Amino acid sequence: MIAEAGHYALVLALALALIQSTVPIAGARWGDVALMNVARSTALAQLLFAAISFTALVSLHVTSDFSVVNVYENSHSLKPLIYKITGVWGNHEGSMLLWVSILALFGGLVAAFGNNLPLSLRAHVLAVQAWIASAFYLFILITSNPFLRIANPPIEGRDLNPVLQDIGLAVHPPMLYLGYVGFSISFSFAVAALLEGRIDAAWARWVRPWTLVAWIFLTLGIAMGSYWAYYELGWGGWWFWDPVENASLMPWLAGTALLHSAVVMEKRNALKVWTILLSILTFSLSLLGTFLVRSGVLTSVHAFATDPTRGVFILLILCIFIGGSLSLYAWRASALKQGGLFAPISREGALVLNNLFLTTACATVFIGTLYPLALEVLTGDKISVGAPFFNLTFAPLFVPLMVAVPFGPLLAWKRGDLLGAAQRLTAAGVMALIAIALLWAWTYGGSTLAPLAIGLAVFVIAGAFTDLAERTGLFRVPLGTALRRARGLPRATWGSAFAHAGVGIALIGIVCETTWNSEHISTMRPGDVAKVAGYELKLDDMVQRKGPNFREMIARFTVDLDGQKLSVMTPSKRNFTTRESSTTEAALLTRGASQLYISLGDATADGAIAVRIYHKPLVLLIWWGPVLMAFGGMLSLSDRRLRVGAPKPARALRGLQAAE
Amino acid sequence: MTRKQRRLTMIGGSLAVLAVAAALVLNAMRDSIVFFSTPSMVAEKHISAGKRFRLGGLVQPGSLQRGDNLAVSFSVADGSATLPVSYKGILPDLFREGQGVVAEGALDASGTFRADTVLAKHDETYMPKDVADALKKQGHWKDDYGKKPSASAAPQPTQGAMR
């Protein structure tokens, strides 16, 4: 009954999406207000029915209704409740349903908060949103219906893939999808602008908060996924340049570029055509990501199922939306009016440089990810493009970008003063040089590249605060005045400073982890002691334990530092009987931003066990960086000038403040 | 500067960055791409010692031997040829005899494949895609690898190659 209701709600949502994708456009053509307003009500109703459908699937999983194929294949009655819920999107059908539900959510948000949008723009945006929604409702209903029943229901389910039975699954996919799908809003706005043939600064003021929301979620989603891989896979790696990771990185790079070009468009009414193109590309890359992950052309932990019809269907959606929007762009972009002038050395110029490097870096990731697929289709040769490729292409492109980051905010709009900016960055530069010198002396004879990279990171972080110090007049005026000015600064300024500092912090973490990571791999018996980076780890004993749907073997390690007992670490190895598979649960000991990491291998016949122990210095900075970036994004978002749905600045006084 | 000059500066700058990126990509393509081979392809092609590639096939049942200090050796077979592989380290959770495996490394002088990474990671219904394709091509594909209670005939990866 619930399954049928969920299925029916999905069909109704499709019907509503079809209405929403046609009627408002006709209304906009004929100038009929009532027809244009249909978009708003259908978007809200569509959200309601998508939510009903999703809730139905969740309740089927919670009640372990094994007469539904999707529940049978991915659930087990003994599974803890939290994994019964998260297991809803731990499979192909459920994750696609989550995808469209989030799409409907964003459509609903635009409908609910878009009251002060120009009516025809809102009608167009929601219609385009409904095109995407219709395509994906059709995809789910035709190829991946999560509500299919089994004729003879089994008593027990096949359980969820053990790797996915982790709290990470509760957070990572929804975050990532909020990011992916959030970019559909800027896409819809871009296509709407092309359809209308009109675009102005108000358009950018609308698009920017939505892009920012999507970007924040995508940043957190990627960081979360990386941390999950780090602790769950038991290899201590946090980024593998796996095609699926790249699929999420590409929209992030393009989205970051979009965020910056939208600033230029909002403030200076320039780069319009480019911003439109970036909006289209960003969402296209999100769709491509969905295709790569869901079609099964790639094998990875994320590919839940290979079914050729699904791949072809998604490929079709991909071609229609990317091809269609790009053709529309080619056809209509010239009709959009060109924007304002600016010198190459200016804030605009710096943001163009940012866009140039981000999109180029994105293009190299694109080539590295798709080249093996293209080659296999064309010649049948199988190759793999791994980390070395990306380290050789992506890193050199990011270095100049990082060097340029602190300069951007210090340049004036329209015509900047590079020399002046360089002078103001002297302090940051000196700090970076000191950091390089100290590190180089401290690690004498070691890597030369690492101190340089950390110096670069210090430069970025110090540069971000130079910007704040310059604006508040810190060290030049009395502290009280500086603080008062700091409070008066637009939150967006604080936001960009934090986000830029976050990039530097993540870089420090990455460099430290990759350069000074120490590892110890051996077989150990109870009583054996391993020494890693000054810590002494003694294997006390190994015990068996029974969990709700698994058996596990727990090893207990006592960790000593300088003869003092520090802590006990308990890595374990779990065996899931239903799937006859096992997972490694690593034990982590956090010391400041550094971590000790133990994961277990196989037990040998004579009672010893293979053990991997890592000491990862400052590893947590890799994820604190993105968290700080996301925090900066949220600060920016809370800026009243950018608030979703905020009208033009209420007080003229705001216009007098320094532009950020 | 006139509008035209400014535009030319922009375009020139963009082209320069793109050229650098293209050079980087081409350079990286030459050095850091790894080909995939099966044991019989290795036998045919006479891959020289020291050249890195990915080896895929089934772990020969009964070939797994554990030595001292985590040294492991096993054979990878694809039905018509086998290749001995040596590895030092911890094997992935789901490494099993008779199941698919992908290893990355190079041949040594004696013709043994020295792997530095073993990418086998699959559950009971899944084989690494590269291995499945290669085996199908040679006609050694057994349909029951893909057998699942649900009706679909294709192998159902639920989890893939991970390091």
Q: Where are the domains of chain A?
A: 1-154, 168-381, 518-616
Residue entry with tokens 């959606």: A317
| C-beta neighbour count of B109 within 10 angstroms | 7
Q: Say how far apart CA A506 and CA A487 lie, in whole Å.
A: 27
pLDDT the model gives residue B62: 87
Q: State whether residue B26 sits within 8 Å of chain A by CB.
A: no
Q: Say how far apart CA A265 and CA A259 lie, in whole Å.
A: 10
Fold topology of A1-154: Four Helix Bundle (Hemerythrin (Met), subunit A) (1.20.120)
Q: Say how far apart CA A588 and CA A594 lie, in whole Å.
A: 10
A248 Cα to chain B: minimum distance (Å): 17
With a CB-CB cutoff of 8 Å, which residues 261-320 of chain A face chain B? 296, 298-308
pLDDT the model gives residue B37: 84
pLDDT the model gives residue B131: 60
3-class DSSP state for residue A584?
A: strand
The answer to whether A100 and A50 have CB atoms below 8 angstroms apart is yes
- Tell me if B159 and A163 make a contact (CB, 8 A cut-off): yes
Domain around B65: 35-137
**Percentage of chain A lying above the pLDDT 70 cut:** 94
Q: Say how far apart CA B58 and CA A190 lie, in whole Å.
A: 50
Q: Is the pLDDT of residue A340 over 60?
A: yes
Of B1, B17, B69, the CB nearest to A343: B1
Q: State whether residue A657 sits within 8 Å of chain B by CB.
A: no
- The residue-averaged pLDDT of B57-80 equals 85
> pLDDT (tens digit, 9 = 90+) per residue, A499-556?
999 999 999 999 999 999 998 988 898 999 999 988 999 999 999 998 888 888 999 9
State the average pLDDT for chain A.
Answer: 88
Q: How confident is the model at residue B139 (pLDDT cuts 50, 70, 90)?
A: low
Choose from B3, B11, B27, B32 for mutation: most chain A CBs within 10 A: B32
| Beta carbon pairs, A and B, within 8 Å | 149
Q: How confident is the model at residue A162 (pLDDT cuts 50, 70, 90)?
A: confident
Residue type, A556: R
pLDDT the model gives residue B132: 61
Q: How confident is the model at residue A659 (pLDDT cuts 50, 70, 90)?
A: very low
> pLDDT (tens digit, 9 = 90+) per residue, A86-132?
999 988 899 999 999 999 999 999 999 888 888 999 999 999 999 99
Of B10, B13, B34, the CB nearest to A386: B34
- Tell me if A306 and B13 make a contact (CB, 8 A cut-off): no
3-class DSSP state for residue A517?
A: coil
3-state secondary structure A346-391: CHHHHHHHHHHHHHHHHHHHHHHHHHHHHHHHHHCCCEEECHHHHH
pTM above threshold 0.80? yes
Query: Token digits for A271?
Result: 């780069």
Q: How confident is the model at residue B113 (pLDDT cuts 50, 70, 90)?
A: very high
> pLDDT (tens digit, 9 = 90+) per residue, A454-491?
999 999 999 999 999 988 888 888 888 888 888 888 88
Q: How confident is the model at residue B34 (pLDDT cuts 50, 70, 90)?
A: confident
- The residue-averaged pLDDT of A367-390 equals 84
> pLDDT (tens digit, 9 = 90+) per residue, A280-328?
999 999 999 888 877 666 654 444 445 667 778 888 898 999 999 999 9
Q: State whether residue B28 sits within 8 Å of chain A by CB.
A: yes
- Tell me how many domains chain B contains: 1
Q: Is the pLDDT of residue B159 over 70?
A: no
- Tell me if B163 and A240 make a contact (CB, 8 A cut-off): yes
Pairing of β A535-546 and β B52-59: unpaired
For the ranges A157-166, A533-542, A593-602, B145-154, the lowest mean pLDDT is seen at B145-154
Of B17, B28, B91, the CB nearest to A357: B17
The answer to whether A420 and A431 have CB atoms below 8 angstroms apart is no
Q: In this structure, is residue B2 part of a structural domain? A: no
- Tell me if B123 and A306 make a contact (CB, 8 A cut-off): no
pLDDT the model gives residue B154: 33
Q: In this structure, is residue B64 part of a structural domain? A: yes
Q: What is the CA radius of gyration of chain A?
A: 27
Q: In this structure, is residue B26 part of a structural domain? A: no
| C-beta neighbour count of A140 within 10 angstroms | 23
* Contact list, B87 vs chain A (CB under 8 Å): none
State the average pLDDT for chain B.
Answer: 74
Q: In this structure, is residue B8 part of a structural domain? A: no
Of B34, B156, B158, the CB nearest to A383: B34
Residue entry with tokens 């999808």: A177
Burial of residue A374 (number of CB atoms within 10 Å: 0-12, 13-18, 19+):
exposed
pLDDT the model gives residue A52: 97
- Tell me if B162 and A301 make a contact (CB, 8 A cut-off): yes
- DSSP 8-state secondary structure symbol assigned to residue A30: H
A79 Cα to chain B: minimum distance (Å): 18
* ipTM score: 0.76
Domain at B98, CATH number: 2.40.50.140
Q: Say how far apart CA A7 and CA A13 lie, in whole Å.
A: 10
- Long-range contacts of range A531-539, CB-CB < 8 Å, 24 or more positions apart? A532/A596, A532/A613, A532/A614, A532/A615, A533/A615, A533/A617, A534/A561, A534/A562, A535/A559, A535/A560, A535/A561, A535/A566, A535/A596, A535/A615, A536/A560, A536/A561, A537/A569, A537/A596, A537/A598, A537/A613, A539/A609, A539/A611
Q: Is the pLDDT of residue A382 over 60?
A: yes
Q: Residue B34: name the closest of B123, B105, B119 by CA.
A: B105
Q: In this structure, is residue B122 part of a structural domain? A: yes
A609 Cα to chain B: minimum distance (Å): 10
Angstrom distances, CA of residue B115 to CA of A78, A428, B132: 39, 45, 20
A103 Cα to chain B: minimum distance (Å): 25
pLDDT the model gives residue A74: 87
pLDDT the model gives residue A304: 45
> pLDDT (tens digit, 9 = 90+) per residue, A416-454?
888 989 999 999 999 999 999 999 999 887 788 899 999
